[in-house]
Structure 1
Amino acid sequence: MTEAWVSLFSGGKDSSWALYRALETDLPVERLLTVHPDDGSYMYHVPETRLARLAAESIGIELVEVDPDEAGRGIEESGARGDAELEPLERALGDLGADLDLAGVTAGAVESEFQTSRIQGMCDRLGIELFAPLWGRDPRDLADAMLDAGFEIRVVQVAARGLDESWLGRVLDEEAFDELRTLHEEYGVHVLGEGGEFETLVTDGPHMARPIEFDYETEWDGTRGRLRVTDAWLGE
């Protein structure tokens, strides 16, 4: 069997950038793997992961989807919950390893030691490599690289002081990232939302044949909110 890589993929900007960089460096990515977590997950991007199906179709790589099981539910301690949440992902990769000569996975972590250490431990147990091209990079440099590459990034959830309802559905362009840098100075908001301050969806990019388009409603409780996608399709 030919060596193969799997991209841990949510459809958000960070996992999409890790996939894009893997493809740019000629890593043979044979599968995308999306975990659909429960709200409040400690390990995974949560909102609108079902749109990963459209992204995978546009990218042209087969998608494997993992629905949440009972792992992690009811566990309050963050480390134990993170470990439990990793179990369905590790099982799915083990299953893929039976069909593929699995060489490694891509991941979009920037600064989260909580996530990265667990993914690295999983890779060590499976005997595979980890490709994490965002790890340790300057957030603003990464934002500029994404824009320069032609990524179209939409905000689908916000949960931080300084981010109001107007950010929901907003395209993250140069002006938006300048505002996020100001919000970082004022409130500590991470420029890439690494601490869960906001979540995103990549709707177009150089690795995609067709853009994702969608209709949505917004939910806002006064301090945080999200988009609820009501319909989605691939554009021309």
Structure 2
Amino acid sequence: MTDDWVSLFSGGKDSSWALYRALEEGLNVSRLLTVHPEGDSYMYHVPETRLARLVAESVGIELVEVEPEDFEAHAAEDSGAQGDAELEPLEAALEALQGELDLVGVTAGAVESEFQTHRIQDMCDRLGIDLFAPLWQEDPRELADAMLDAGFEIKIIQVAAGGLDESWLGRTLDEDALEELEELNDKYGVHILGEGGEFETFVVDGPHMERRIELEYDTEWDGTRGRIRITDARLA
């Protein structure tokens, strides 16, 4: 049997980079696993996760999806308890995959979040599998530059931080945007990679993808935060 890896995947830049690096390292990524939480989440990227289906088709890797009905409501509990509860359907999905794959590990795109990474590591320990987290504790600007140098085309799809106005919605994360984010980091503490939820992204193209994803969308803005709503998405 081959050693199989599962990529914990949202379509955002960080999980996409973890997937890309795993493929570059020669890991046999045989599944993408996307979680679709309903509402805000302590553990998962939330906006536009349904686009992962197009990425899976472009990359050529089978997609497994965890649906909102797999989650139980834990809104009244503290963040730690909710994070643990949110992990349960993901762990159940991986346990099911162990029955059909020679599962040896998962990839994850965490950069600085100990809240997420420690829970994922503990889950891997329980399942007896490895964790490949190539972004962990790396310099955010160096990571962003590496993504652009590799050919990633990254769109900003949600913003929620001081200094990030409606003009950022749908903007490409390029060198100019990174320079502005560094200035906003100095002024407001905005994380250059949006690790604190300041913004969310979606990768529309990259060297691991056979076809670019084209998006059409509307924008929603409430005066302090906003997001894009996809009206059409297709492979070029």
- Tell me the secondary structure at the aligned position of residue 65 of structure 1: strand
Distance 1:168 1:192 in 2: 15
Q: Mind listing any 5+ residue stretches in structure 1 that lack a counterpart? A: none
Residue number in structure 2 paired with 1:37 = 37
Residue number in structure 1 paired with 2:26 = 26
Is contact 1:71–1:87 with CA below 8 Å preserved after alignment? no
Alignment of structure 1 residues 112-127 onto 2, 5 Å: 112-127=113-128
When the two structures are superposed, what TM-score results if normalisation uses the length of structure 2? 0.98
Is contact 1:214–1:233 with CA below 8 Å preserved after alignment? yes
Q: Does 1:50 align with 2:53?
A: no
- Tell me the secondary structure at the aligned position of residue 141 of structure 2: helix
Distance 2:99 2:155 in 1: 36
Is contact 1:72–1:82 with CA below 8 Å preserved after alignment? no
Superposition CA RMSD, Å: 0.7
Distance 1:191 1:26 in 2: 29
**What amino acid maps onto 1:178 in structure 2?**
E
Alignment of structure 1 residues 79-98 onto 2, 5 Å: 79-98=80-99
Is contact 1:72–1:85 with CA below 8 Å preserved after alignment? no
Residue number in structure 2 paired with 1:16 = 16
List, as ranges, runs of 4+ consecutive aligned residues in structure 1 with deviation greater than 3 Å: none
- Tell me the secondary structure at the aligned position of residue 44 of structure 1: coil
Q: Mind listing any 5+ residue stretches in structure 2 that lack a counterpart? A: none
Deviations 1:121-153 (A, max 9, x none): 000000000000000000000000000000000
**What amino acid maps onto 2:65 in structure 1?**
E
Residue number in structure 2 paired with 1:101 = 102
Distance 1:75 1:81 in 2: 9
Residue number in structure 1 paired with 2:213 = 212
Is contact 1:158–1:198 with CA below 8 Å preserved after alignment? yes
Residue number in structure 2 paired with 1:65 = 65
Distance 1:218 1:201 in 2: 15
Residue number in structure 1 paired with 2:180 = 179
Is contact 1:156–1:201 with CA below 8 Å preserved after alignment? yes
Distance 1:173 1:222 in 2: 25
Cα distance, 1:39 vs. partner?
1.6
Cα distance, 1:72 vs. partner?
4.4
**What amino acid maps onto 2:30 in structure 1?**
E
- Tell me the secondary structure at the aligned position of residue 32 of structure 2: strand
Deviations 1:51-88 (A, max 9, x none): 00001100010000110223343233000000000000
Deviations 1:159-215 (A, max 9, x none): 001100000000000010110011000000000000100000000000000001011
Residue number in structure 2 paired with 1:131 = 132
How many residue pairs get aligned? The number is: 235
Identical-pair percentage? 75
Residue number in structure 2 paired with 1:7 = 7
**What amino acid maps onto 2:25 in structure 1?**
T
